[in-house]
Amino acid sequence: MAAAGLLLAAACGQGGGSGTQSQNLASDQTIKFPIGDDFGTLDPAQANSETDQEVAQNMFDGLLRFDKNLNIVPDVAASIPALSSDGLTYTFKLRPDVTFWNGDKVTSKDVVYSWNRAAAQQGAYSTNFSAVAGFDKLSSKPPPVATIEQLLAKNDPSVMMSGLSAPDDSTVVAKLAQPAGWWLSAITLSASTGMIVDQKVVSKDPENWWTKPDTAVGTGAYKMSARTPGQSVDFTAVPNWWGSPKPTVKNVHLDIIKDATTRETAYEQGKYDLNGFGGYSNLNVDDILRVKNTASLEKQLLLHPKVRTTWVNFNMVSDAQRSAKGPFVDAPGSTSGKDLRMAFALAIDKAKLAQTVCQGLVCVPATGGLITKGLKGYLGDNTDPLAKFDAAKAKSLLKSADPDGSKTKSLTYVYDPENPLNKAVAENLQDQWNTNLGVQISLQAESHSQFIKDYLSGKFVMNRSGWQADYDHPQDWFDNLFGKVAGCPDTNCASGFTSPQYEQLLSQADSKPLADALPVYKQLSQVLIDNVAYIPLYYSVGAFMIKPYVKGAGTNNFFDIWWNEYQVLQH
């Protein structure tokens, strides 16, 4: 009783509750929401996660940006750049009124500096500049970040791409080594290598400038105002920001809470205005089900497709550097490997898998090819033959390719268990292959860190695989997953798949403007389907919670809507 009394006393004074709502703005324009971890880095040259980019997109701008509908529109640039007739030279004109929040004016030299800096550091997205002349001359073993900074200050050619120039303060010229229809999409990727940083500030602390409110300088609508590592971060709207719409929300407070259910509970208690934002839209399925069954919460839930496809990967190549081998390998003059892959594909009821694993909420069956629904390159609903379920045909294929069952004995499916869905998927696959194909497979969990390393070096016969698109262009999928550009067959390549037809089509597609390239990319999808290079499983759906009084908050397939579009209504 005494304990209960104390606990009741603790609850005193901590209240939430909602009042009546009007369309008037609240006097306190502060948004609060939880995120799951502290930032990896907000430095656009190094940022390599959705979570960091979701936040940093409010701090930094590039010449172009994706609008809400994923069209490329001018940002710091005054207009979409002119492209020369040979398809090699882009000329960007800058807006004259853009400044960093510290008052420094943005000039074309800042753009060239930022791009060279990002390319020279060889971060994860430095390859967004791989089409620019001179990128291939940069060292793949870069010197320390501080040394790069010193070299950039001296205009040292070892850290500069020869294709970039700034003929005057408001013009940037980018000359490509070869035509690349995808390049504008790549440099438009928010909070990444295409963003503009302030050399004056960065050069004073090249590694950690972005960690402190005083030096985390960008051109975005918000700036960092306080940070307690591992605990919380605050942002404030930049006064007299040059862009539009001008921010209504003045303060944004993020708390770092690791546990997804705790984040949701705190949101429901009224501590936060949003949940699922900042790259943490992976609410627990049980929580989403509960929310859907609670009248007062259901309307606050937003389920929106995100840009991730999950599939089963096979090892398709056997050579000295790939240790996996296995029955799915393509051998000259034999279709056994391909038939087995098809048998395993047809034996999975994808709709049943999505319903069982995701409760029909956080994923949908992948029926339109490798590229997620809603993105350029999507083949259309129910167009992927690998997504079909046909147990009889699967058994027939298995019988012809592996009559005595010796090839498919002792198979192991490997997955990384950190994402609970991966374990559920693995168990469902094991069950379906056993039921529909009569093949018993073992499951092996491997920690994510080691899993990624092993599967990109061809150590698994079959495993969980997936890709989250970076920008809305098919090149992002085909250059990074299959073929020689990705590193196949032996480096950085899960399946090992490449073929002369694939290489020829990819080269052709990558060089064309998007409209002309799309049919060729669709042929590439068909090549992957014809070779049964994957078993499509599902497309991911993100879950977001938004209080009724927060106007403008939301998401598109790729990113959270920018904070400067939010408003807090009276509540």
Site size toward other proteins, by CB under 8 A? 76
Query: Segment 479-518, which members bind other proteins (CB under 8 A)?
Result: 480, 487, 491-492
Part of the chain binding other proteins (CB under 8 A), chosen from 12-20, 171-179, 193-201, 511-519 = 12-20
- Binders in 30-89 for other proteins, by CB under 8 A: 34, 37-41, 43, 46, 48-49
Of 56, 76, 98, 145, the one binding other proteins (CB under 8 A) is 145
If the CB atoms of residues 340 and 414 are measured against other proteins, the closer one turns out to be 414
In this chain, which stretch among 78-86, 467-475, 517-525, 537-545 interacts with other proteins, using CB under 8 A? 467-475
**Does residue 421 touch other proteins according to CB under 8 A?**
no
Using the CB atoms, write b or e for 199-214: b if 16+ within 10 Å: bebbbeebeebbbeee
Q: How far apart are CA 333 and CA 244, in angstroms?
A: 61
Taking residues 220 to 259 in sequence order and writing x for each that binds other proteins by CB under 8 A, - otherwise, the string is: --------xxxxx----------------------xxxxx
Q: How far apart are CA 101 and CA 498, in angstroms?
A: 47
User: What is the pairing mode between strands 411-415 and 441-445?
Assistant: parallel
DSSP-assigned letters across all residues of 230-277? TTEEEEEEPTT-SSSSPPS--EEEEEE---HHHHHHHHHHTS-SEES-
Half-sphere exposure of 400 (CA within 13 A, CB side): 14
Q: Judged by CB under 8 A, which stretch of 264-272, 378-386, 433-441, 515-523 contacts other proteins?
A: 264-272
List the interface residues with other proteins, window 530-549 (CB under 8 A). none
The residue among 371 and 520 lying less far from other proteins, judged by its C-beta, is 371
Structure tokens at 209: 């400038």
Q: Between 256 and 425, whose beta carbon lies closer to other proteins?
A: 256
**Angle at CA of residue 171, ends 170 and 176, nearest 5°:** 155
Interface residue with other proteins, options 178, 400, 447, 504 (CB under 8 A): 447
Is residue 533 within 8 A of residue 482, CB to CB? The reply is yes
* Least Å from the CB of residue 278 to other proteins: 14
Do residues 401 and 408 lie in contact, with contact meaning Cβ atoms separated by under 8 Å?
no
Q: Is 365 in the site for other proteins (CB under 8 A)?
A: no
Nearer to other proteins, 15 or 332 (CB): 15
Q: Does 122 bind other proteins (CB under 8 A)?
A: yes
Spatial distance between the Cα atoms of 306 and 282, rounded to a whole number of angstroms: 10
Cα dist. 424→7, 421, 462, 535 in Å?
A: 38, 5, 16, 16
By CB under 8 A, residue 123 contacts other proteins: yes
Q: Which is nearer to other proteins, 468 or 523 (CB)?
A: 468
Query: Which string of x and - marks every residue 191-210 that binds other proteins (by CB under 8 A)?
Result: ----------------xx-x
Of 347 and 485, which CB lies nearer to other proteins in the complex structure? 485
Tell me which residue has tokens 């709502």.
Answer: 21
60 token code pair: 């930094």
Look at the block and give the residue holding tokens 């400038």.
Answer: 209
Shortest approach of other proteins to residue 285 CB, angstroms?
A: 18
Residue from 23, 140, 244, 406 that binds other proteins (CB under 8 A)?
140
